[in-house]
Amino acid sequence: MINARLHPAHHGSGRATEPGGRLNLLLSYAGWEDASWVDRLPRLLEPIGVQSLRAGTGRQASEVIARYPIHIAVVDLGLPLDAAAPAAAEQAEEGGPRLLELLRRLDQPPPTVVVKRARSHRDDCREIAAALRSGAFAVIDRPHGPNDLEVMLEVLRRCLLRFYRGRWPGHDPTFTV
């Protein structure tokens, strides 16, 4: 897992990138459970060169996007816009939909995996439709079962295959994933 403040090296875009990484993965997470897939995923992906850039609020995610090129983004729709006191968390403004909009407006929007909240059927349909209108590659339920990590890994693999033709973004075309 990368702390966005450590060791930036600049790309031609003027934004920083972590040295040696093949792919920058933005992981936004609303923190609904401890020891979740979002804690395990970076440890699995780091040895193959995937740098996980975590954000716990919409503002943190915006800062990461401003500093690093993002190749794949995981957007939690329940992400708060700002850090709020526990009592105010229920009424906190949501940053997930705003983060989707920010990613969509980038010169080269990354493939985006949207993690939706468990809500009523009507609200689920509304969230899925909004995510797809924003260009989401996939919309998944919040992972919380024994196969949660495998589902996320499969979705990320499909992102690489579809958007980067099975190759690491911007690297040697002879090396495939």
Dump pLDDT digits (tens) for 132-174.
888 889 888 876 666 778 888 999 999 999 998 888 887 655 5
pLDDT at 120 over 90: no
Tokens, residue 10: 């600049």
pLDDT at 102 over 60: yes
Instruction: Provide the Cα torsion 34, 37, 40, 43; round to 10°.
Output: -140
End-to-end CA distance of the chain: 20
Tokens, residue 92: 């906190």
- Cβ count within 10 A of residue 79: 26
Q: What pTM was estimated for this model as a whole?
A: 0.78
Q: Give the residue extent of every domain in the chain.
A: 9-164
Assign a CATH topology to domain 9-164.
Rossmann fold (3.40.50)
Of 6-10, 94-98, 148-152, 164-168, least confident by mean pLDDT is 6-10
Rg of the Cα trace of the chain? 16
Classify residue 2 by its DSSP letter: B
